[in-house]
Chains A and B, each alone.
Chain A
């Protein structure tokens, strides 16, 4: 029974988080499933103090160049986010932030190209508390609203500085409406392809005319920054008609309004898109892939149920996620290890399983790039190609090589832990110790046979420190680099 509970808790934490640190497993294994889900979903009651542990002993390292500046240096921003994923006691908040980052996929390079590297990092990752102009970067907005109301998230994203650069809203004016954001808010953020027309794109572009940027603050104290500004003079005021209803009375037309009142056009369209049953189903299907399963078709019953919770709760993502994590589809044993780990999930889980003391998250950034995922740099506005698309040969090799470098970095810790656990007595004791430390999808018996063969390959077993320091990391490399470990 305890073993069953552990398997359930591990499954929950692999999906609602990034795997389980030993202390997380200790905490959650005392709870019932519904208590555990409640704890994950109601994370406001847990202190949000993870950032204060950066640089402290006992935590994964960061690599500092001069000063650690995640609010202005994108490499440090990546390090901070990985640090949070490893050490936050609000794992679902980080996981959901990653979901939104992929959903509203905004790339650093374009922001940096427009305003410079420092500003690029700022509009993506600054916390208001650490910025002289109180800039809240996009990822902080998503993190604060991780389980918030989807309509609010949409409104925030439409006014987000990085988004206004990324999809060119900053240059959307009445003389020349700019279609980029108007298209993607429908195609990628809400209703999905097939549920809007080309003329809806033109209408949406006009809706958001005048949703531009202003630059308050002063350069001298560093407070100067770009932020959303509704420029009434640039708003196109005529009526906008869509192929789908905008208002509760079924009307498809946003009425002509004065320029002064024109901001309401965007609010009306956002409310209509957030409330569309197509959006409900689009999000539910994406949540299924991210939290439940990459295998087979998206479960229609799940989509129906989650979409209906979304609509009934008026777009409350906390209610939606509670439904997802309590769903029978989520707890179906066939859903265990039925997702292909994203590179960031793979890396963070490996750190939690293998160990992090003495490892810097900075050394995960290049390997992650080789695996196909750079945080804050999705390949395009549709986000990353996930599932089997992660597993090119080069990317698989990058995963195996990350396992090698982490195992190498942790070799003394691994050897010591094996010895302390009494696993040095025989090759099979060592094997069962590490198979237990690195839980994988069920290993084929051929794999355990080969691993056992590896432990016997280069000489008689002595259990000496030297042998453990070679075999323990070698074994961890092979397990964490195995195909089975790539499933979560």
Chain B
């Protein structure tokens, strides 16, 4: 997996390095583009989110019989109505902020998203959701391909990855800087004053001489060059002081940086954020305050709600779309460890000022009948109804204004998906 991922990155080195030809000019260009453009925030729930604990079919008796210790009691869910198949659904009780966003019509759930023969491997699964190609887990990332499709020269800050390693979904020719913390994204020196300035100027000049004849080394030069070219603009984001303050979680702090980048108008269009811990094989503890899954929901809810309100205050909500994914859903029946093992289809979320909120797709029927068409694997896992690429297609066509058939290698448009 890693080997081939490296290989394709290498294949794109020549184009990649050219991207950084004129950083000074490019940052001016980015500023000139202004802040009013459509932003995409890709949110990865790492580990395989248990859709049935997030969006609960609280009238399905099999939900309770198959999850004796994990089911959310019907009386505790946050009811959000019924889907087109008349299944009543409720949010996990900790998602009070997201319930408000849903009620304001700005949050959509797309149920039973996945693909045929869904991988139960974290790594292959994440690769497939990232490449949008179940037959080629080593391809470029679909968001990376979108960035590659933008007219060049592409600004080195067009994307912002809030984690320290480049996620597969962003891997393509266009380099995306990793900026886990804007405040930590600065150039230090053993000296001060003129001496430090001379060091920095030298580092910038060294990075500018990209050795095209040594592509593996040129790749590292690309990182150096992009770092030096983005320092000053990122420094402006470090000064962003939102009110009210965001929670302290890494997820919320990453969203704060995203909001800061948008507010400061530094030209970034695509952001990547993640929150982990969803691989709940044991002690999933959905219901107890400070239980494992309860805490996952708290982190998710509090971060997203702070972000939503911040963007609303800044007048940026209409410019922003958040799209979530996870590598798989989890098995319907709980295991002996009060947890759930790797499953198949899951739920995707889309949030933003221009989103038509609501429930898309239909909930699974959790009965154990092996012929139940909404399930697979001897009624053990949820079978997909909406190909995940149909959701990507809607985002690419409807939000980013590009041609999804080119970037996804086929027509995955689905006319019942109208969340944008």
Indicate if B178 sits at the interface (CB-CB under 8 A): yes
- Flag whether A388 is at the interface (Cβ < 8 A): yes
A199 to chain B, nearest CB (A): 10
A398 to B178, CA, bound (A): 11
- Contact B206 A482, beta carbon cutoff 8 Å: yes
Within 8 A of A (CB), among B163-211: 164-166, 175-180, 184-191, 194-195, 198-199, 201-203, 205-207, 209, 211
Whether the pair A454, B216 counts as a contact (CB closer than 8 A) is: no
In the complex, which residues of chain A have a beta carbon less than 8 angstroms from the beta carbon of B7?
A: 297
Q: Does B217 contact A (CB under 8 A)?
A: yes
Which of B37-45, B57-65, B219-227 is found at the contact surface with chain A? B219-227
Contact B342 A176 (CB under 8 A): no
Cα separation A356 to B102 with both chains bound (whole Å): 56
- Stretch touching chain A among B117-125, B315-323, B402-410: B117-125
Tell me whether B386 is interfacial, beta carbon within 8 Å: no
Chain B residues in 8 Å Cβ range of A483: 206-207, 217, 220-221, 223-224
Say which one of A93-101, A121-129, A310-318, A403-411 lies at the interface with B. A403-411
Task: Say whether, besides A168-B337, A404-B190, A473-B190, A183 and B178 are in contact (CB < 8 Å).
Answer: no
Interface: B230 (CB within 8 A): yes
* CB–CB A458/B122 < 8 A: no
- Chain A residues lying within 8 Å of B222, measured Cβ to Cβ, are 391
Q: Given A393-B227, A404-B188, A180 and B164 touching (CB < 8 A)?
A: no
Known contacts A389-B5, A392-B166, A451-B202; A340 and B211 CB within 8 A of each other:
no
| Nearest-CB residue, chain A, relative to B193 | A458
* Chain A residue nearest in CB terms to B334: A176
Q: How near does chain A come to B155, taking the closest CB pair, in angstroms?
A: 13
> B-facing mask of A450-488, CB < 8 A → 1, else 0?
110110011000000000001001101110011110110
Question: CB-CB < 8 A to A400: which residues of B?
Answer: 187-188, 203, 224, 227
The 8 Å CB contact of B223, one of A369, A391, A444, A447, is A391
A73 lies within 8 A of chain B by Cβ? no
Name A's interface SS: helix
From B6, B178, B194, A394 is in contact (CB under 8 Å) with B178
Given the complex, which residues of A lie within 8 Å of B188, measured CB to CB? Answer: 400-401, 404-405
Set of chain A residues within 8 Å of B211, measured between Cβ atoms: 444
CB proximity to A under 8 Å, residues B117-169: 120-124, 161, 164-166
Q: Roughly how many angstroms separate A385 CA and B126 CA in the complex, as a whole number? A: 13
- Find chain B residues with CB under 8 A from A176 CB: 334-337
Contact in complex: A457, B202 (CB < 8 Å) = yes
A385 touches B165 (CB 8 A): yes
Interface assignment of B302: CB less than 8 Å from any CB of chain A: no
Q: How many A-B residue pairs have CB under 8 A?
A: 205
A380 at the interface (CB under 8 A from B): yes
Q: How many Å lie between the Cα of A294 and that of B177 in the bound state?
A: 22
Q: Give the residues in chain A near B179, CB-CB below 8 Å.
A: 393-394
State whether B2 touches A385 (Cβ < 8 A): yes
Q: How far is the CA of A212 from the CA of B7 in the complex (A)?
A: 41
Q: Report the minimum CB–CB distance from A296 to chain B (whole Å).
A: 8
Chain A, Cβ-Cβ closest to B124: A193
Distance A381 CA – B281 CA, assembled complex (angstroms): 14
| B-contact 0/1 string along A162-178, CB 8 Å cutoff | 00000110111101111
Contact with A397, one of B5, B175, B227 (Cβ below 8 angstroms): B227
A298 interfacial by beta-carbon distance below 8 Å: yes
A482 to B210, CA, bound (A): 12
Select which of B185, B194, B205, B282 is within 8 A of A168 by beta carbon: B282
Specify the chain B residue showing the minimal Cβ separation from A339: B216
Q: For the complex, is A338 an interface residue (Cβ under 8 Å from B)? A: yes
Give the CA-CA distance A454 to B189 in the complex, in Å: 14
Closest Cβ of chain B: how far from A246's Cβ, in Å?
22
B420 interface hit (Cβ, 8 Å) = no
- Shortest CB-to-CB span from B187 to chain A, Å, is 7
Interface check A142, CB cutoff 8 A: no
B178 contact set on A, CB distance < 8 A: 392-395
Chain B residue numbers with a CB within 8 Å of A172 are: 336-337
Q: How far is the CB of B280 from chain A (nearest CB, A)?
A: 10
A446 near B209: Cβ-Cβ < 8 Å = yes
From B164, which residue of chain A is reached at the shortest CB distance?
A372
Contact present for A392 and B9 (CB under 8 Å): no
Residue on A nearest B206 in the bound complex, by CB: A450
Residues of B within 8 A of A444 (CB): 209, 211
Q: How far is the CA of A86 from the CA of B226 in the complex (A)?
A: 32
Determine the distance from Cα of A330 to Cα of B304 in the docked complex, in whole angstroms. Answer: 50
Beta-carbon contact of A470 and B281 below 8 Å: no
Instruction: Give A176 to B68 CA distance when docked, in angstroms.
Output: 13
Instruction: For the complex, give the distance between the alpha carbons of A487 and B221 in Å.
Output: 12
A387 at the interface (CB under 8 A from B): yes
User: Is there a chain A Cβ closer than 8 Å to B339's Cβ?
Assistant: yes
Whether B336 lies near A173 (C-beta < 8 A) is yes
A447: nearest chain-B partner, CB-CB: B206
Contact with A along B94-114 (1 / 0, CB 8 A): 000000000000000000000
CB distance from A151 to the nearest CB of B (A): 24
Partner of A183, one of B165, B203, B342: B342
Report chain A residues within 8 Å CB of B336: 171-173, 175-178
User: Given that A178-B281, A487-B220 are known contacts, is A481 also in contact with B165, CB under 8 Å in the complex?
Assistant: no
Q: Which residues of A contact B198 (CB under 8 A)?
A: 454, 457-458, 474
A390 and B342 CA atoms in complex are apart in Å by 28
Given A178-B281, A391-B220, A404-B188, A382:B123 Cβ within 8 A: yes
B288 within 8 A of A: no
> Is A387 a contact of B2 with CB atoms below 8 Å?
yes
Taking a contact as CB atoms closer than 8 A, the residue among B10, B186, B230 that contacts A393 in the complex is B230
* Interchain residue pairs with CB less than 8 A apart (12): A176-B335, A178-B281, A298-B3, A386-B2, A387-B2, A393-B227, A404-B190, A408-B190, A446-B209, A457-B198, A457-B202, A478-B203
Q: A-B pairs with the 9 shortest C-beta distances?
A: A176-B336, A392-B178, A171-B337, A408-B190, A393-B177, A483-B220, A394-B178, A473-B190, A446-B209
In addition to A391-B219, A395-B164, A457-B201, 10 A-B residue pairs with Cβ atoms within 8 Å of each other are A187-B121, A193-B1, A193-B124, A370-B164, A371-B164, A392-B178, A451-B206, A481-B203, A483-B224, A486-B220
